[in-house]
Structure 1
Amino acid sequence: MKNMLLRYIKLYIHFTKINISSFMEYDADFLFGIVALILKNLINLLIIFFIFHLIDNIKGWDFNQILFLYGFSSTSFAIWHCFFINTISLPFYTRTGLLDSFLLKPVDVIFQIMADSFDEDGIGDLIFGIIVLTIAIVRLKIVSIKLIFLPVLLLSGSLIYASLGLISSSISFFTIGETGISNLVMDFFEFSKYPITIYNDILKIVFTVLIPIGFTAFYPSLFYIANYKYGLVLVLITPVVSILFFLISYKVWNLALRHYSSTGN
């Protein structure tokens, strides 16, 4: 098990180096893409400023707290965008028949899809998310040992996005083509930017149990910005939820794979 894990880590590093080398050949496009993503995110963030220009809080959450939640959500999503966005690219692989080449190699298919390309546009998202999150941490004066858990929680959130991508794109095995359902990950990201408490009871249950989008940012944030007595419990639960949800999505993906038939070009 340990040897296999080390093998996959080495393979991922190798693929990442190749992908970075490929897009660095066009360094101007690379830089412009990063700047464009940062500006796009900045425009979206302005909505928060406009909202708090009109009101003092959102369901008890003040500006700094919402800023933390927004930054946490954006960073978690950006990690997925950079490294795991191919989980929604399955329609492309099935439509073109490129999935066949992955099936012939002695390496996990999902791993190959994730490592096949690195989305440089996600770097703009990641830079923006880290900046916003850092500003929020400073404004909230979070300087405690709690910050040690932050990387794990951010990675857990990105794993949930990857799981959603796998589940939604699995439909491609039945449609053999592009489906709008793969874009649901982007839609769920919009929900994660705000406290779950603003939604109705049904959505609260859905975003906590069925589609645990609440664990990408909201529940971990309670540990940092609210005097929530179960905050530590939520921190411990978040990685468990993300891993379980990924295992479920992995199972769904493998079940759907049985319905795959080669299309070719």
Structure 2
Amino acid sequence: MRRLWYYARLWKGYMRIGLLILVQYPADTVIWLVSMILREASGFLGVVTIANVAGGLGNWNLYEICLLFGLCAVVEAIGQAFFDCVWEISGSVRKGTMDVILVRPAAPFIQLLGRRFHYPALLSIIIYGAVIVWALAHLRIAPGVGMLLFLIEFIVCATVINSGIYTIFNSFNFWIVQGEDMAVLVQTCREFAKYPLAVFPVLIRSFFTFIIPFGFVGFYPAAFLAGKAGTEVVLTLPLCAGAVGLAAAFIWKKGLGSYDSTGT
């Protein structure tokens, strides 16, 4: 219990530092905020335009596609806000700054995550949360306790899956040293998750279901909410999150154990 309280206070301190960094350069923060909104808006408008021109994608109508896009974007924004420092593994290994993390008493992964918070991504969470509510309203999906519980389950499990996948591929930098391009490629492939996987060939659907399960970050939960999938989604979502989380923890620990400092 004392250890948990220690990490709670440590995380609070990291968040405070992140907030101070945010307000230190207000102009830079505003530019970053505007660029993030424009980037997200362009992606959203692209999907909506395609859906409008094509009259939907497969058997998915405009509002169902907006629901899918909103779910994906919310999870990605949560990862950007609180877990984006997994992308610094490559630089920490290459420059040897991982040594500093290892000599401190706190868990290395907690220290890594606390090095930076992207608070502007909180605005994306609010915006795409509103898109989800808007899409659910147009789909006439009645709110209720069951839906609320599922959305909470989705947020937790999908965040673990999304950030866990990024952690896995960034942790390969312990062996490759400068292999962040592999993680960037995986992040690029994540764009498939913003479209209904049902419109893709079986090979692509299987890949994003069983190999790199980005399908559980948006497609399957959206299909469940839209009535296109059964209750098996409720059961497989935490199973997938558990599998990805364990795999990420295992590869991170193995990589950290093999780290021998590259020096500077």
TM-score norm. by structure 1 comes to 0.90
* Superposition deviation, residue 178 in structure 1: 5.1
Length, aligned pairs only: 262
> Mapping of 1:85-100 within 5 angstroms?
85-100=84-99
Q: Secondary structure at the match of 1:264?
A: coil
Q: Is the 8 A contact 2:172 2:179 kept in 1?
A: no
Gaps of 5+ in 2: none
Indicate the residue corresponding to 1:172 in structure 2: 173
Task: Please give the alpha-carbon distance, in whole angstroms, between the structure 1 residues aligned to 2:198 and 2:161.
Answer: 20
Task: Please give the alpha-carbon distance, in whole angstroms, between the structure 2 residues aligned to 1:207 and 1:135.
Answer: 27
Check 1:151–1:185 CA distance in 2 against 1; reply closer, same or farther (3 A cut).
Answer: farther
Task: Please give the alpha-carbon distance, in whole angstroms, between the structure 2 residues aligned to 1:28 and 1:227.
Answer: 45
AA in 2 matched with 1:177: Q
Indicate the residue corresponding to 1:128 in structure 2: 127
Moved beyond 6 Å, runs of 4+: none
**Higher mean displacement: 126-135 or 201-210:** 126-135
* Superposition deviation, residue 147 in structure 1: 2.5
Q: Secondary structure at the match of 1:89?
A: helix
* Superposition deviation, residue 127 in structure 1: 3.5
TM-score norm. by structure 2 comes to 0.91
* Superposition deviation, residue 90 in structure 1: 0.5
Task: Please give the alpha-carbon distance, in whole angstroms, between the structure 2 residues aligned to 1:4 and 1:220.
Answer: 35
Indicate the residue corresponding to 1:203 in structure 2: 204
Task: Please give the alpha-carbon distance, in whole angstroms, between the structure 2 residues aligned to 1:247 and 1:131.
Answer: 32
* Superposition deviation, residue 82 in structure 1: 0.9
Task: Please give the alpha-carbon distance, in whole angstroms, between the structure 2 residues aligned to 1:126 and 1:17.
Answer: 20
Task: Please give the alpha-carbon distance, in whole angstroms, between the structure 1 residues aligned to 2:42 and 2:8.
Answer: 36
Q: Is the 8 A contact 2:58 2:198 kept in 1?
A: yes
- CA deviation vs aligned residue, 1:169-216 (integer Å, no higher than 9, x gap): 122112323531121342133011011212221222221122111111
> Mapping of 1:59-78 within 5 angstroms?
59-78=58-77
Gaps of 5+ in 1: none
Alignment RMSD, CA only?
1.9
AA in 2 matched with 1:217: G
Task: Please give the alpha-carbon distance, in whole angstroms, between the structure 2 residues aligned to 1:223 and 1:4.
Answer: 39
Check 1:120–1:48 CA distance in 2 against 1; reply closer, same or farther (3 A cut).
Answer: same
Q: Is the 8 A contact 1:97 1:263 kept in 2?
A: yes
